[in-house]
Structure 1
């Protein structure tokens, strides 16, 4: 059954039950036992309808949303338990409920779960740390609100029984509570959007109808013309049906509620500051301060009977203990959060200083790269002449064989120099990202040749173990060379600070991936799980900024690859880089040509 038809059927059933109730109220004599029994039974059943609709939403992956709907269902359950007491007296004992009845507190307590549900704010994404103080503040408010009921209402039952005072204070407190709930739902309805706005609208309508029906019943009950089964019960029953309808509509639009939740953003540190210093915190502090004010009122300004004043003073002293404990816990959590914020601020300041140093160093490297590019261009001119003349000498058959062999060696070294200069220019200049089909062995070899120019220690060397035939990889050659160059440089720096060693670079094919392994014999990595974090570095101050590996991680992720690191059992660190292979991209003949041109395994000295 589609959503609109389901809602229409649900509304139709609700109106049918309301019509039957209205017919019974009009047809049965006022106050008859049949009408009283019928009215009590119906009012015991309708909260079950409400719970059935509300609890449809309690099985989502979002725990705050589950608790939100469960707490509203708990509110209906508390009201139902209170109605059971009413039914017990009127149906089983055949007498009216006592005027001064302590069980009336259940009708007051039914509002507290709704207030607690609103504190969860399920329409917002919030981090656990951001919500601790907010929930604690609301716990303080709920405890204080329960104390208000005991202070103003129960005193007229247990201290000095007085039905008029009890009814007046009970109605005042419960109606104030209902009004606060309606105001909270209005605020959430205005703040939310999408499916959550619809859900809050129906919950607001149900709560408003309940508030108005409870107010009318209280007034008619004080006048003395209310009886169970009367037409005054219709708005009350309709409010529970509306709660059920709100739950059903939310369940039918649960996918849209998930989408609205995903679009919302997490609370920022400003939200946390508002949680620490906002209106819930101020209200919680005001609630605690009000204890002393209420105690002073009972001592010096309350003109009631002495027993009532004594009861209220004892109640205030008893309530002060748990509220003081909650205040202590809140203060501890607030100090912990402030210390955390201070630590994060210090870390952010330190990272900013590192970033400034990196920017200065980057400007220097840009200038140096421009100079190197200019020098490389100047080198290319005489290099082209060397290559041209060496070709002529090597191919001149009139020269002796020894002279031609010497010319061939000059040509080979000139070509190698031209390749190095080309790699240097390609690495130095900024070019737009361009994904092309490439051979990983070629990129690795070029990165090694470029890094060998700056090998300062004779005890550090690089070994290449390149698989002869590898599938192609689609990517940006400049970016991948930057990744490999950075990994090689980090390994060499680590080994040179550890009396040298060997860096082994191995390429292989693993299922549908091309894998590059960088394995060194250095000291290893202290915290492998943190090496890709921005600004994390183990190098001395001034040598590293902690951005190199995080940039490498980002580049590999952009190429749909993976990069991990770990320490070898025999000592040293291993970086494993994987890229998805394009198995059908290279024909076999073309692939052999590519690997023959640029991936000859060798062991540089």
Structure 2
């Protein structure tokens, strides 16, 4: 039997524990959750009747925290951690066995443990809400940035089209007039090549700005993907890279702009070729179900650095050396996919490389 003084002492320990746990949760840094949970575990250890023999475990899918072990076998009190009415983990408080039995725990200790688990569950809920809010904020910022850049690039594209056409036209006239001057003809060829390259950049800008007219019709996606890969056979052979194409059906129909879909496949496979080492394989997979078409393109290259992944669809961002990429290819792909109400995701391949996965809804 407990004396009144002993009972009061135990209630003070329990209230102190609840106060400390509440303080830890209120001041918790969501980026350093482990420190807060460790503090909660230590509070529980001090709150139990036989605190010098108390052992505490806190387990969730992301964290596994425990105090110093006091034995090999234990008798435990435990309570579940729930967040959004779903189980997220458990907290166990134990005494060494067979020195202690379940009857050595106090009824109030189970209530305390249940209350702490409820508070930890609320903490996990708030962390998840904050992460979702941050994700939505980034998506809104990305959409605003792309919208503004779309307006800017549309203007740039229109302004550049006329002078580029003039450069190409007058260069062709000069080639006809110069005649046999080999060096001059060689220089004019360089002008033509660079002007054509610039015109292609302008086309990509117009794709990105959604200024290119669309003609959507029901097409067989299998044929479009095969044609795009065929156009790159010479490049594949020169780089000593293989490309396989697997499809669940010979006919996969989708209402989409054929030219834009070709642009998407061409850009993604070209990127894969650029980063693929010799003797490696690019795998293209096309799957179809009742409501969507899924296209994935996987390479065996070095992969995309983790810090670059959030920016790969940003206009003018490139991981290629200066002069080897305009930084518009993936922006164009992203814009085309979004204009068709689709989605595009990037993930690491196993053991090395990158996988781009595109989904287009069937309409």
Please give the range of the TM-score, normalised by the shorter of the 2 chains.
0.3 to 0.5
Question: Relative to total residues, which structure has the larger strand share, 1 or 2?
Answer: 2
Structure holding more helix per residue: 1
TM-score (norm 2): 0.40
Q: TM-score, normalised by structure 1?
A: 0.26
